[in-house]
């Protein structure tokens, strides 16, 4: 939801608080400093990636039909005939 303002790239956001253990907050601050981004921006990205990602569509087929050779007889291709 975007609204008209003097700063056209500003998107409306609601303020919230997150309680983190000291170690996690320290790691988050280090990651923000390394990347040149804000802690809030990293948190928003994590939410978008984890919570707002589209659900998986289910298993993906790698092949079709009955298996021709299984791991049980995979050495048979090297047997002398």
Average pLDDT along the chain, 81 residues, taken 10 residues at a time: 57 90 97 97 93 79 70 69 57
Using CA atoms, how far apart are residues 41 and 49, in angstroms rounded to an integer? Answer: 12
Residue 47 lies in a domain: yes
Is the residue at 4 inside a domain? no
Total number of domains constituting the chain:
1
Do the domain assignments include residue 2? no
Interatomic CA distance for residues 65 and 38, integer angstroms: 51
In terms of pTM, does the model score above 0.75? no
The domain in which residue 42 lies consists of 17-56
Sequence-distant (≥ 6) Cβ neighbours of residue 77 within 8 angstroms: 69
pLDDT of residue 60: 72
């Amino acid at each position: 939801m975007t609204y008209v303002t003097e700063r056209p790239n500003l998107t409306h956001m609601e303020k919230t608080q997150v309680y983190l253990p000291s170690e996690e907050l320290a790691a988050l601050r280090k990651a923000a400093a390394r990347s040149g981004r804000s802690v809030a921006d990293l948190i928003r990205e994590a939410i978008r990636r984890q919570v707002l990602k589209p659900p998986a569509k289910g298993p993906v087929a790698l092949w079709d039909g009955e298996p021709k050779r299984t791991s049980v007889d995979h050495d048979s291709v090297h047997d002398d005939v």
